C-alpha cells in the first residue's frame, strides 16, 4: 500500500533512499531528504506490507508532468513485484499528468513499462 511520507518515517525513508547509487554519501542523502521535506513540488511515498515499510518512491511534480526521482526497495523484499507495484501506484495517482523517469530511474521505469505493454 502506498502511503505519503511523514516525519516519523524519516530514518526508514533515508535508509531506503540510501540504496540509490547516487545517495550513498550521507551529505547527499541529507540534502535529498531536506529537499523532499521543504519543497511542495517534491513528494515522497512509502510502500507498506502489513506493518513493514519496505519501499520508497519520490517524485517531482511539475505542471503537466511528474518525474520519478528515486525508487528503492529493501533488499529482503526485492523480486516480489513491489518496485513494479510502486511505479504503477504512482502512475495511477498522477494519472492527470505525464509520469516519467529521470536519469536515475530510467532503467527500472523502462523495464516496468515494457512489461505492462
Ligand X SMILES: CC(C)(COP(=O)(O)OP(=O)(O)OC[C@H]1O[C@@H](n2cnc3c(N)ncnc32)[C@H](O)[C@@H]1OP(=O)(O)O)[C@@H](O)C(=O)NCCC(=O)NCCS
The answer to whether residue 105 forms part of the interface with ligand X (CB under 6 A) is yes
The residue from 73, 90, 91, 99 that contacts ligand X (CB under 6 A) is 73
The residue from 49, 84, 97, 100 that contacts ligand X (CB under 6 A) is 84
Residue with cell 515522497: 44
Q: What's the CA gap between 59 and 44, in Å, rounded? A: 6
Q: Phi and psi at residue 80, in whole multiples of 5°? A: -115, 5
The residue from 12, 14, 18, 78 that contacts ligand X (CB under 6 A) is 78
Shortest distance (Å) from residue 71 CB to ligand X: 5
The answer to whether residue 21 forms part of the interface with ligand X (CB under 6 A) is yes
Q: What's the CA gap between 96 and 27, in Å, rounded? A: 34
Beta strands per DSSP E along the chain: 2-4, 42-49, 52-61, 65-73, 98-101
Q: What's the CA gap between 55 and 44, in Å, rounded? A: 11
Tell me the per-residue interface mask from 30 to 69 with ligand X, x by CB under 6 A, - otherwise: ----------------------------------------
- The residue ranges that bind ligand X (CB under 6 A) are 19-21, 71-73, 78-84, 104-105, 107-108, 111
Amino acid at each position: 500500500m502506498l502511503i505519503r511520507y511523514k516525519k516519523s518515517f524519516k530514518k526508514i525513508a533515508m535508509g531506503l533512499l540510501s540504496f540509490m547509487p547516487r545517495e550513498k554519501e550521507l551529505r547527499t542523502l541529507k540534502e535529498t531528504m531536506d529537499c523532499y521535506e521543504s519543497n511542495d513540488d517534491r513528494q515522497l511515498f512509502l510502500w507498506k506490507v502489513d506493518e513493514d515499510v519496505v519501499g520508497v518512491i519520490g517524485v517531482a511534480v511539475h505542471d503537466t508532468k511528474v518525474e520519478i526521482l528515486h525508487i528503492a526497495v529493501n533488499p529482503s523484499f526485492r523480486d516480489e513485484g513491489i518496485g513494479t507495484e510502486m511505479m504503477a501506484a504512482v502512475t495511477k495517482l498522477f494519472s492527470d499528468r505525464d509520469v516519467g523517469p529521470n536519469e536515475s530511474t530510467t532503467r527500472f521505469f523502462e523495464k516496468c513499462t515494457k512489461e505492462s505493454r
